[in-house]
């Protein structure tokens, strides 16, 4: 009865895949809860997840078999992500499982739930402390055992590769250290496509030892990677961009943005603001960045030391100087030359240059000369 209640709660809490890549995990405490007064303690510090449970000596209520805790990839840190079966993915990590004592069994490893007409079925790709196995099983996933021996406290690299093969079948490849299984098809494929989702992650299970309050286990999942990239929670950097001396439609102006760390560009993006100039850079992993902005005929502005920790960062505002027609990040005689060459033109003319239309009125006129004169000699940030 204890497990049935948890199953219902999980099914109600799944998040539907909307095309977003996972950038977080959600930890589900006590997927099995056969010892309700044990002491569980879990840590999420991506790309690391730690699951721990101690004092598994039984709570006096049957069944007294084991406690299980799980984590799943997530887009919001709240709900496990349901990924369509046609989406290929690889989840991998370095796992260290420690049992105190090593018997009764402690096990940990890869975990996945796949949608079924009755709810879901589960894959376990695990190591254990008593039989020293590295083995995968669970309907409708294929069974596979690696010729490896695992001992409590060892660190092993595990991975699961799920994909739809060219023969139209859904298959999985298990990975353990430098070894890989063959590509093996899931069974009953006509059934699994009815719900069309899978939620991957990891788990820890600790068997109960009646009368031993020191019985427990810890699983450390380190360097968690999704499709080759370290899994890190991501946030947004947002603010307002003022395009000075411009009366046109700001929503149509592409703005080049760079995230830099230590002087190195780590990400580039083209932004478009709303009508009020507001923007957002999404899916930014924690770190400290210099954020650079450079639209076509405005000078570059750099906001230094924007620190993303564990929340969205707002108020990263810039006001950009107009007049850089040739795009060299200075307002000089070369820009005057470009404006003279386009003077009097409108869209469709042979000498039309949209970057010389500094004020955005779709004509190159004396008003644009006025903008350039006011800002002559200005130099943008590097």
Residues 23-72 have pLDDT tens digits of: 899 999 999 999 999 999 999 999 999 999 999 999 888 889 999 999 99
What residues have CB less than 8 Å from 100, skipping those under 6 apart?
Answer: 54, 214, 215, 216, 217
Q: What is the pLDDT of residue 147?
A: 97
Burial of 111 (0-12, 13-18, 19+ CB in 10 A): buried
Q: What is the pLDDT of residue 234?
A: 79
Domain residue ranges in the chain: 2-230, 235-374
Q: What is the pLDDT of residue 270?
A: 96
- pTM for this prediction: 0.69
Residues 140-198 have pLDDT tens digits of: 999 999 999 999 999 999 999 999 999 999 999 999 999 999 999 999 999 999 999 99
For 3-26, b/e burial (b = at least 16 CB within 10 A) is: eeebeeebeeebbebeeebbbbbb
Q: Tell me the HSE value of 371 on the side-chain side, using a 13 A CA sphere.
A: 26
Q: What is the pLDDT of residue 14?
A: 42
Q: Tell me the HSE value of 109 on the side-chain side, using a 13 A CA sphere.
A: 27
Q: Which pair of structure tokens corresponds to residue 193?
A: 């496509």
Spatial separation of the C-alpha atoms in residues 97 and 109, rounded to whole Å: 9
What residues have CB less than 8 Å from 127, skipping those under 6 apart?
Answer: 95, 97, 107, 108, 109, 133, 134, 150, 154, 156, 158
Distance of CA 299 to the CA centre of its chain: 33
Neighbours of 303 (CB within 10 A): 17
Any idea which fold 2-230 has?
Jelly Rolls (2.60.120)
Spatial separation of the C-alpha atoms in residues 149 and 119, rounded to whole Å: 34
- The rounded percent of the chain whose pLDDT value lies above 90 is 87
What are 184's strand-pairing partners?
172
Spatial separation of the C-alpha atoms in residues 368 and 370, rounded to whole Å: 5
For the cut 80, the answer to whether the pLDDT of residue 8 exceeds it is no
Asked if the domains 2-230 and 235-374 are classified in one and the same CATH topology, the answer is no
Spatial separation of the C-alpha atoms in residues 352 and 231, rounded to whole Å: 47
pLDDT band at 360 (very low <50, low <70, confident <90, very high): very high
In which residue are the tokens 């997927």 written?
Answer: 31
Any idea which fold 235-374 has?
Immunoglobulin-like (2.60.40)
Residues 100-153 have pLDDT tens digits of: 999 999 999 999 999 999 999 999 999 999 999 999 999 999 999 999 999 999
In which residue are the tokens 């490849």 written?
Answer: 173
């Amino acid at each position: 009865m204890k497990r049935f209640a948890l199953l219902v709660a999980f099914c109600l809490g799944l998040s539907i895949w909307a095309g977003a890549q996972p950038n977080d995990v959600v930890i589900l405490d006590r997927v099995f809860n056969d010892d309700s007064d044990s002491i569980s303690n879990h840590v999420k510090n991506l790309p690391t997840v730690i699951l721990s449970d101690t004092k598994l000596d039984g709570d006096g209520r049957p069944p007294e078999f084991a406690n299980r805790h799980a984590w799943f990839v997530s887009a919001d840190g709240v709900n496990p992500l349901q990924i369509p079966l046609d989406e290929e993915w690889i989840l991998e990590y370095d796992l260290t499982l420690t049992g105190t004592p090593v018997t009764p069994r402690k096990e940990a490893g890869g975990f996945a739930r796949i949608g079924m007409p009755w709810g879901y079925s589960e894959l376990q790709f695990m190591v254990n402390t008593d039989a020293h196995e590295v083995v995968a099983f669970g309907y409708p996933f294929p069974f596979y055992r690696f010729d490896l021996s695992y001992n409590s406290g060892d660190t092993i690299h595990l991975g699961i590769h799920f994909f739809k093969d060219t023969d139209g079948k859904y298959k999985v490849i298990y990975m353990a250290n430098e070894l890989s299984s063959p590509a093996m098809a899931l069974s009953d494929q006509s059934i699994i496509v009815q719900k069309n989702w899978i939620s991957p992650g990891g788990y820890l299970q600790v068997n109960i030892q009646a009368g031993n309050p020191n019985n427990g286990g810890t699983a450390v999942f380190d360097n968690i990677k999704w499709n080759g990239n370290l899994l890190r929670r991501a946030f947004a950097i947002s603010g307002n961009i003022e395009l000075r001396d411009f009366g046109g439609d700001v929503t149509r102006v592409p703005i080049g943005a760079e995230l830099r760390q230590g002087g190195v560009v780590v990400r580039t993006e083209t932004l478009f603001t709303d009508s009020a100039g507001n923007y957002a850079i999404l899916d930014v992993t924690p770190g400290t960045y210099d954020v650079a902005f450079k639209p076509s005929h405005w000078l570059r502005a750099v906001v230094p030391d924007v620190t993303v920790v564990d929340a969205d960062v707002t108020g990263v505002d810039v006001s950009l100087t107009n007049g850089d027609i040739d795009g060299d990040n200075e307002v000089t005689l070369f820009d005057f030359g470009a404006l003279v060459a386009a003077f009097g033109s409108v869209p469709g003319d042979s000498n039309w240059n949209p970057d010389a239309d500094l004020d955005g009125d779709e004509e190159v006129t004396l008003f644009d000369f006025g903008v350039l004169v006011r800002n002559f000699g200005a130099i943008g940030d590097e």
